[in-house]
Amino acid sequence: MTTISMPAPGGIPLLGLGTYPLMGEEAYRAVRMALDLGIRHIDTAQMYGNEREIGRAVAASGLPRGDVFVVTKVDPGNVGASRFAASVARSMEDLGGPADLLLIHWPPAEDDFDAALDRLMAERAKGNARAIGVSNFSPAMMRRAQHRCGGALVNNQVEFHPLLDQKAVLATARELGLVLSAYSPLARGAALKPAAIAAIASRLGRPTSEVVLRWIMQQGVVAIPMTTKRENALSNIATLSLELSAEDMAAISALGTRQGRTINPSWMAGRWEP
């Protein structure tokens, strides 16, 4: 099976496997399946409670560790000074070594924002992460964070799919030299339903999921769909051979609104903009 290594700008494999909300043996089996099929990008987080299974699956795959790109994220409850370093040490133990990309999962509180980024930089300096980034940061937060880190951040992982207008986030990421990664890329199935997407899929003879994922990746955004099914993983891989026309891209982009968010925790109220 061909390795899925086509990179987005920044060297992050363009297609990965999301692992939320998989736990235990289900998480282990999904990662083994993905790696066996050639996917080389695995996304996890302290919050998911499955880092140990991800580490075990990567080790059991027999692949050189340098061939697998592993992403994890520091939980909001661990981002403070008293817990950050210890939590990252536990993650590295569970994963079996340094992460390829370590993210702050959710924006820190205002009074700890800059200091949390300093802690993230310190983990990279200690060798616990080959690269660092953030997740769920607004454009203004991205600018502040990248300035604080002296341009060292490479990634912002955000909800990204056709139903959510993230043009400002994507434009800011490009301005700052960051790659966006798309979690919830199918909007928990809602992005498969619009008639415009179904019409494009029918004309191309491809599943609607492939059209949605291609719309994401064709913009240079990394897609990390979760699946436990081999047929779905193979379909996700097949997306890499698809090309959408400019007209198709525009028709899909027109579906997005700022109200299209599916992940919207209470602690982010008022923090998504600007």
CATH number of the domain within which 108 lies: 3.20.20.100
Q: Is residue 128 in a domain?
A: yes
Domain enclosing residue 52, as ranges: 17-189+219-229
Q: Is residue 262 in a domain?
A: no
Q: Is residue 125 in a domain?
A: yes
Closest CA to 179 of 12, 40, 45, 5: 12
Q: Is residue 80 in a domain?
A: yes
pLDDT digits (tens, 9 = 90+) for 137-180: 999 999 999 999 999 999 999 999 999 999 999 999 999 999 99
Q: How far apart are CA 28 and CA 50, in angstroms?
A: 8
Q: Considering its fold, how many domains does the chain have in total?
A: 1
- Residues with Cβ within 8 Å of 209's Cβ and at least 6 positions away in sequence, in order, are 186, 192, 225, 232, 235, 236, 239
Q: Which percentage of the chain shows pLDDT scores above 70?
A: 96
Q: Is residue 25 in a domain?
A: yes
**For the whole model, what pTM was predicted?**
0.96
Q: Is the pLDDT of residue 36 over 50?
A: yes
Q: How far is CA 127 from the centre of its chain?
A: 21
Q: Is the pLDDT of residue 1 over 90?
A: no
Q: Is residue 173 in a domain?
A: yes
pLDDT digits (tens, 9 = 90+) for 212-241: 999 999 999 999 999 999 999 999 999 999
Q: Is residue 42 in a domain?
A: yes
pLDDT band at 108 (very low <50, low <70, confident <90, very high): very high
Q: Where in the sequence numbering do the catalytic residues fall?
A: 48
Q: Which long-range contacts (CB under 8 A, 24 or more apart) does 186-194 make?
A: 186/161, 186/212, 186/213, 186/225, 187/161, 187/162, 187/163, 187/260, 187/262, 188/262, 190/163, 190/262, 191/161, 191/162, 191/163, 194/162, 194/163, 194/255
Q: Is residue 151 in a domain?
A: yes
